A and B are shown apart, each in its own frame.
Chain A
Amino acid sequence: MPNLKDLKNRIESVKSTRKITKAMQMVAAAKLRRAQEAAEAGRPYAERMNAVMANLSGAAAGSDSAPKLLAGSGDDKVHLLVVATAERGLCGGFNSSIVKLARAKAQELISTGKTVKILTVGKKGREQMKRDFSDLMIDHVDLSEVKKVGYVNAHAIATDIVNRFNAGEFDVATIFFNQFVSVINQVPTAQQLIPASFEQQENVETPFYEYEPSEEEILTDLLPRALSTQVFTALLENGASEQGARMSAMDNATRNAGEMIDKLTIVYNRSRQAAITNELIEIISGAEAL
């Protein structure tokens, strides 16, 4: 029979764990709201940018003078995988799901004879990717000091990617992140950055624009910015997803702790009752013997 004292300690410890997970859940809920607002605020810019780029790139694709960022380097031997994850753990399967997708992609590319390079954003992704691909990691972006991910951070990452591309370090770049759907649902997503791809929106009538300077020059100017915007959108989605995932993970943890406390309390009460019954039996049989 478990010792009463031990049981009591055990219950106390689970209770404080529950308190912590509950607090984390509430913090995540508050952060989630802020992250969602940020994602919401960034949407008009991203959508507009995408619409214009889709329009411009649709016209430029196929022509020989298309910028390299759009047309690609004409090869697809070397792939750069940008793995964007969180800086912290304790958020359910958030980090693992991104890494899982990236790992599958990397293995697929390697098996078809391509060269893979990996750039990680966020500490957790680096730790997990290192296990399998430590020799493929080329760089890491640390955002742990950044309180609120801003466009500046995304711009720095995008600039780095473009510079590497211009230096001929890779042919194709893909970013991996979690698309926020709801608090309990985040979809790991892979998006191709270079050569740039823009979703053509349907049923949108585009007026016949006059361009100044020429269409190609506008395209050359806007492509790096569009890239930064895509990275920024990915980081914002990731931020909201992380908080959502942490919130539901901590909600589960709180509930499990509650169940555990209930079970332990029952065991504790039974043992206490048994001890009392035992003592009574001893007293009664003692009295009878007299």
Chain B
Amino acid sequence: MATIQFDLVSPERKLASLDATEIQIPGADGDFTAMADHAPFLTTLRPGVLRVKAGNDVTEYVVTGGFVEISGTAASVLAENAMPKGEVTREIIDGFIAEATAAAETAPSEEIDMANKRVADTKALLDII
């Protein structure tokens, strides 16, 4: 089966680099799955769960803001915060929520919708743990 080169990097380290068969990504305007030969695509991330499938192995990561860059052969996810789903605790998510809420309070008027959406998306993360 055709594979796609998948990279997950955060500002502090490279979390994963492997050949994946499919990657389910929480895009800003909805989830989507990237497979080999996906059209070149660039989208921002919303806080959510990223699922990487390589053969029969599935790895899940929790990611917050950042973006995804997809070309036909490679998918790079640049996430501001990224960690394996198993490492995520309630406190970490509470921290994200606090940060998103603080950002929403100081956001200039034209960005307020975006900031509020981020708060809602971050709160939705609580359901997954």
Report which A residues bind B (CB closer than 8 A). Answer: 38, 41-42, 44-46, 48-49, 52, 150-151, 154-155, 159, 163, 166, 207-213, 217-218, 220-222, 225, 228-229, 232
Residues of B within 8 A of A209 (CB): 40-42, 69
A67 to B40, alpha carbons, bound, how many Å? 24
Interface members, chain B 23-44 (any A CB < 8 Å): 27-29, 39-44
B86 within 8 A of A: no
Q: How far is the CB of B47 from chain A (nearest CB, A)?
A: 13
Given contacts A207-B40, A218-B67, 16 further A-B contacts (CB under 8 A): A38-B12, A42-B11, A42-B13, A45-B78, A150-B12, A151-B11, A151-B12, A207-B71, A212-B28, A212-B29, A213-B29, A217-B44, A218-B43, A221-B44, A228-B11, A229-B11
Residues of A within 8 A of B76 (CB): 48
Q: Which of B10, B71, B103 contacts A45 (CB 8 A)?
A: B10
Is the beta-carbon distance between B69 and A41 smaller than 8 angstroms? no
Residues of A within 8 A of B11 (CB): 42, 45-46, 151, 154, 228-229, 232
Q: What total count of A-B pairs have CB within 8 Å?
A: 82
A115 to B7, alpha carbons, bound, how many Å? 44
Beyond A52-B69, A209-B40, whether A221 also contacts B114 by CB under 8 A is yes
Query: Which residue from chain A places its CB closest to the CB of B28 in the assembled complex?
Result: A213
Query: Which residue from chain A places its CB closest to the CB of B32 in the assembled complex?
Result: A212
A225 to B63, alpha carbons, bound, how many Å? 14
Q: How far is the CB of B7 from chain A (nearest CB, A)?
A: 8
Is the beta-carbon distance between B42 and A218 smaller than 8 angstroms? yes
